[in-house]
Amino acid sequence: METIVEELLQSQSFLGFADVAQSIAATSKRTEKAALLGSYFTQLSDNDLVIATRYFAGYIFPLRDQRSINIGGAAILTAITTASGREKSTLQEKLVKLGDPGDVAYDALNHNLEGHLPQPPLTLQNLAQKLEQLAVTKGSKQKISLLTNLLTQTSPLEAKYLVKLLAGDLRIGLKEGAVEDAIARLFKIPVAKIQWVNMLTGDIGETALLARYQQLDSARMQLFHPIKFMLASPVTDLTEVAKQMPGEFAVEDKYDGIRAQVHIEPYFQADDAILHGVVINNKRVALFSRTLDEITNSFPDLIEGLANLLAHQSDIDEENGLILDGEIVPIQNEQILPFQDLQKRLGRKQVSQELLDKVPVAFIAYDILYAQGRVLINEPFAERRKVLESLHLDATNVRCGIHQRFADISGLDAEFADARARGNEGLMVKDLHSTYKPGRRGREWLKIKRALATLDVVVTAAEVGTGKRSRFLSDYTFAVRKSETDPTLLNIGKAYSGLTDAEVTQLSNWFRTHTLQQLEHGRVCIVEPKIVLEVTFDRVQPSARHNSGYALRFPRILRIRDDKPVTEIDTLETLQRLVETVHQLPEAAIEAQTTGATSTLEAAQATFKTFVASISRSSQVVILHDCDADGVTAGVVLQLALQRAGYEKVSRIIPDRERNAWTNGNKQTVQASAPDYLFVLDLGCQSEPIIPGVPTCFIDHHRPEGVPLGDTLISAYAWELIPNTSLLVWQLCQLIAQVQDLDWIAAIGTISDLGEKAPFEELALAKTKYTAKYLKEATTLINAARRAADYNPEVAARVLLSHTSPRDIVNSNSELVEQLRVARTQVKAAMEEAKKAAPIFAGNVALVQINSPCQIHPLIAQSWRTRIPKYIVIVANWGYIQGRVNFSVRTDSGINVLDFLRNLGLSEGEGSYGHGHDFASGGSLPIERWQQLLVLLGFEQSAFS
């Protein structure tokens, strides 16, 4: 091994560094890597030892040094292209294949050796000077030019490791911890001492030099380099807290802001050009994010309050500094605001006074790592908390986090609710004896969020969006890491909803300048994997589409995680644990966690039976159901089933023309019926309750948008074969009453919603039993009541309740059925008139505008859907509700119209918008908001009426 090093090594040259790096990469054993590194270090001068040690740890500058190279992957690829003379498209293909820009540089320059002139050896110190020059150079073009020139002076092997260094990872199986281990082995010093000094100094190079001369004891804490943050492990079950902490433990609020570390020290003359932080009132203050990046300039409104934590200059000495760990949150007076407000301030190097006034922030400290010359990370948490509280952090924008002690878990449920009421995510539970472990995630800190499952992921590809976002890269494929030790990225899904227009614009611009390869003529861009997102989803399911073997069902972006490095995104193990956890939970718990994705009919029946069993026979039960044939038949089936099961007070309510259970008018109607229990059928599900405090069961097959806290959702939306609501209700009701004779009612709802060829055995049996002819005609009659101008779907319900079969309805001469026939005739005439309207086009959207008092826009949309299947068809009806435009959206294009509508970015306001099915949706909007929607769709002024 030593012979290899002697043969390869030219200790002054970067080529020697690259040779050793190549040898280390070829060695699998950590001990051999450390031995190679140690042999190399022994032959270096002091200056070269400092430089090489930093480079092997993946740093160009010490952590105290605020300089950075700040050159992206796209710029690096351009420099490689110019230096090698190769085609950029060829190198882009190589990058996708090899996955590492350093390997691409090696391959590219290896093909250009004939034109490569001999160059003087590039020494480590000469390279360090050139990298310093690159760091202070402004502008992408100038940086590319300097890097190109540098690459022409290097051999292919040097270029390989130079580019890897610029990308931030040598990828030779050697992280900072392994370098610490190599230093410890070489100088026969316990590795814990090397780690301690490296933490104090923030410079692995300086640590190596101190170790060489046995001067580690002389190291002192140097502020203004970020210390890695201690991390918490998530739990959802409080019994895990009890197992981990059987004695007394600390409980704190889990804040929904960005993690931040604060360094404060008296100001003494220093090299202000490279040192982090700003000086105010003779104090230097710096803030660092959990990505270890400086964010001081993003929060100028915190600086003075933090500086004031130190005593007056006359009372302090050089060692009187502070390092605090905490959270930056948006705040208004005492109220913590949603994280979305804070996002407006993230990623800005300079913040306007207007934004400072609009989004005030506070720093909430919950740990202290250094104070009064003492490094506190090895002190128990209880002791650190005492020191923190002694600072009296009680300013408006600098305060101490809420802290309590519990002897057991009995009070945590109530405390969790209180934390949420204070505007926070949940709880942190901490072992009172725990030391602070930089960069480690342990079981001594536990976090309890109890929200929908979320994952932190990194974007690997960006795709051009649709509609208003067709000019932006707005659809993002994302990945997790293979494991905590393997950084290989594995794709798990794609999301295109949840971000604001401003965020999409910001990300699109970033992705275009950090694109590694373009596919489909630029429609899809493989991008540098550096943007971290937090996503939520309905469930995890096996998938052969992604290299992870899994896919997230209906992922949605919660926020951009600027505060989180790629090294801290979730892993495949986390994903697998989510799958296992979901399978082990009771179905009711699965339902709550996955926004209503009840997994099977059997699980749905069990949930339904549990809810019904909680209702006393004398309770007032109200059924709120949709007005179409599916909703009306579902309501009638449930009403009859509950009455047959012995429930004495059952009534039904049909919403008004807007068909939205959450409008004030419909809420008031339900409230007036004084329900003890409420069923909501075929009207979707949102997180807002219909009537707060009234136990509610939602039964539905549309995409759920949330579940009110404490309520029950039974949804077929996630099933492989999705039944309509009336069929689902009929299947559920078989558990509580004899309802076989109501199969024809459920069949009418099925034909209305899914067509007469819907692939359900129950429908086939009903067609055989009652004949398809009578079922179809009865369906048109039942639907006519809500489509006619006078809108009276209660007539349809009364017809169903007073007849015994579809044949009975079709052959009936009753007054109620005659009303349905008149309504059907009116609807037919309106349809004939509306069919004369022709579509106009904008991009992939076809717009048809009609003016009818009848609810025929869904029928017209359905007819155009099959005629122009590649388009998203929108039929707008100006005459259905005065002062509003009601519209239906249908498509056979394969585009998910729910996501399409939400991605348009229509501002919040009055009206219903974008609910329903993946390929069938619509809404009801005031005219002004409808016109805003047309603009977002790309239509001209002429389309506004």
What are the catalytic residues?
254
Q: Reduce the secondary structure of 716-734 to three states and give it as a string.
A: CCCCCCCCCHHHHHHHHHC
* Greatest Cα-to-Cα distance within the chain, rounded to the nearest angstrom: 106
Residue 133 identity: Q
Check: CB of residue 179 under 8 Å from CB of residue 173. no
Nearest to residue 322, comparing CAs of 257, 254, 404, 393? 393
> Letter for the amino acid at 345?
R
| Distance in angstroms (rounded) separating the CA atoms of residues 557 and 880 | 35
Contacting residues for 425 by C-beta, under 8 A, at least 6 apart: 254, 255, 256, 419, 449, 451
Amino acid identity for residue 9 in this structure: L
Strand duo 677-681 + 620-625: pairing: parallel
Q: CA-to-CA distance for 475 and 933, rounded, in angstroms?
A: 20
Here the tokens at position 145 are 């030019």
Q: Any idea what DSSP says for residue 292?
A: S
Task: Give 441's strand partners.
Answer: 231
The pair phi, psi for residue 312, each rounded to 5°, is -60, 150
- Can you state the percent helix, strand and coil of the chain, rounding each to 5? 40, 20, 35
Residues 730 and 710: beta-carbon distance below 8 Å = no
For residue 59, give both structure tokens: 């740093």
Q: Are strands 426-431 and 258-266 parallel, antiparallel or unpaired?
A: unpaired
What residue type is 606 in one-letter code?
A
Q: How far apart are CA 918 and CA 912, in angstroms?
A: 16
CA-to-CA dists, residue 551 to 473, 527, 542, 576, angstroms: 21, 20, 6, 11
Rounding to the nearest 10 degrees, give the CA dihedral for residues 889, 893, 896, 897: -20
Beta strand 539-542 pairing with 872-877: unpaired
In sequence order, the 6+-apart residues with CB closer than 8 A to the CB of 834 are: 850, 852, 856, 860
Give the C-alpha separation, 183 to 40, whole Å.
11
DSSP labels for 881-917?
A: STTEEEEEEEESSS--HHHHHHHT-PPS-SSEES-S-
- Tell me how far apart the alpha carbons of residues 211 and 194 are, in angstroms, rounded to a whole number: 8
**Sequence letter at residue 845:** V
- Spatial separation of the C-alpha atoms in residues 382 and 843, rounded to whole Å: 62
Taking the C-alpha atoms of residue 588 and residue 576, their distance in angstroms, rounded to an integer, is 21
Contact by Cβ (8 Å): 771, 809: no
